[in-house]
Structure 1
Amino acid sequence: MPTPEVLLFKQNITYARDLIATASALRAQVTAVINTDDLLRSALVQGVSAFDHYVHEEVRARMIATQLGQHRRANGYDKFRVSLASVSAALTVGGAAWLEQEIREQHGYLSFQQPDKVADAFRLVSDVSIWTETARQLETKPEDVKRQLKLIVDRRNKIVHAADTDPTPPRSRYPIGEAMVRDSINFLERVVDAISAVLELE
């Protein structure tokens, strides 16, 4: 059964698909003067955001479960550093609320999108080689999975940080198509499903 974190990802990735569907419907009803490309750009950004959020939430949930003795302790778990304020809270009240606060504070400044950052995050809760095992689930090579994820994230970064604009004259926006965005969203969902399957096997 999917974890609550996977179900939340599915909900978030649906928002991305809804944006693609809206762009498609508008394009069928209006003239070419109305450009729907920005809806596709928004869909891609939403898809990567859904992936990033999934990694944050899955790792947080499994770290808390580890602290409560409900999840196998990964080698990387003990490398997570906490503040003295959190140590004090842990000694005073126990439980795991202090750890959740610490994780949200530390990870709130991080993005888990690029393959190496995703692997770093999952080392806190799993000893498996996440990309090797994810690729095995997808019946492909780890380098192919990581390369495709990098391409999607790099395009998202162009949209978010550079207005999706080519820096060389005449500084036009990069073209974007429905098929590319839809394929990217589908890929992100397959990766999350594969990661989830890997984690459940532990």
Structure 2
Amino acid sequence: MSAFEIAMFRRNLQHARDLSATATVLSAQVTSVIDTDDILRYALVQGVSAFDHFVHEEVRSRMLLIQSGVLPDCPGFFRFRVSLRSVGLALSQGGTGWLEAEVREQHSYLSFQQPDKVADAFRLVTDVILWQEVSKQMGQSAEDVKRRLKLLVDRRNKIAHESDTDPTPPRTRYPIDAIIVNDSLDFLESVAGAIDAAI
């Protein structure tokens, strides 16, 4: 059902992979005076951003399909609140444009990165117990999958909000390398693929 959204996610993730590869090639061609670690940091941030965007787009798309009667509804769908302005547009124009605008506006303030927030988002469109089903697809426990995603998002936040700096003296930056980044990107791809298969 999500061929477009998963394809878009993979394109966005490929951008992160390209950044990681660029850092690897550059580091092999320049002296150690030139630090390419920030390219790797950006690649990791881009990977998490690609995952967040995938959740936003997948949920929005499924909400529109439910509204159109293509997918079955679920209790979470009916708990989504809409403004009176959107109700007016729905009554006067019909279709799903009003709902798309409402979902985009409400979700624009949210990030869907942490496991609980991802599960909350998907509750709008499915009764599936998300992490239970994702863990089955991945062959790991739900706690292990959620723990790894939390650690990855925490690292992304350290990069984005704390300059990836260890707060304890001597306040150096946390180490990063292509292996860490590429493993993280592979994990995100596995999680998105498992979500796609599970719902």
TM tier, smaller: over 0.9
* 5+ long unaligned stretches in structure 1: none
Distance in 1 between residues matched to 2:27 and 2:168, nearest whole Å? 29
1:76: how far off? Answer: 0.4
Q: Distance in 1 between matches of 2:57 and 2:135?
A: 21
Residue 50 (structure 1) shift? 0.2
Question: CA 1:2–1:78 in 2, change beyond 3 Å: closer, same or farther?
Answer: closer
Once the 2 structures are TM-superposed, how far is the Cα of residue 169 of structure 1 from its aligned partner? 1.9
2:77 aligned partner? 77
| Equivalent residue letter for 2:146 | K
In the TM superposition, structure 1's runs of 4+ consecutive aligned residues that sit over 6 Å from their partners are none
Equivalent in the alignment of 1:181:
181
The Cα offsets for residues 139-171 of structure 1, whole Å up to 9 and x where unpaired, read as: 110000000000100000000011111112221
**How many angstroms apart in 2 are the aligned matches of 1:10 and 1:2?**
12
Shift of 1:2: 5.5
Partner of 1:55: 55
Distance in 1 (alpha carbons) for counterparts of 2:66 and 2:94: 14
Query: CA RMSD, aligned part only?
Result: 0.9
Do structure 1's residue 122 and structure 2's residue 114 form an aligned pair? Answer: no
Distance 1:153 1:89 in 2: 37
Q: Which amino acid aligns with 1:71?
A: L
Q: Is the 8 A contact 2:52 2:113 kept in 1?
A: yes
Determine if contact 2:115/2:146 at 8 Å carries over to the other structure. Answer: yes
Distance in 2, Cα, partners of 1:4 & 1:140: 27
- What is residue 31 of structure 1 aligned with on the other side? 31
Give, in whole Å, the separation in 2 of the partners of 1:3 and 1:130: 19
What letter matches 1:18 in structure 2?
D
Which residue matches 1:137?
A: 137
Unaligned runs of 5+ in 2: none
Between Structure 1 and Structure 2, how many residues are aligned? 199
State percent identity of aligned pairs. Answer: 62
Match in the other structure for 1:104: 104
Determine if contact 2:74/2:125 at 8 Å carries over to the other structure: yes
Q: 2: distance between equivalents of 1:194 and 1:74?
A: 21
The answer for the alignment partner of 1:171 in structure 2 is 171
Q: Distance in 1 between matches of 2:4 and 2:75?
A: 24
Q: Secondary structure at the match of 1:169?
A: coil
Tell me which residue corresponds to 2:17: 17
Which residue number in structure 2 is paired with residue 87 of structure 1? 87
Amino acid at match of 1:100: E
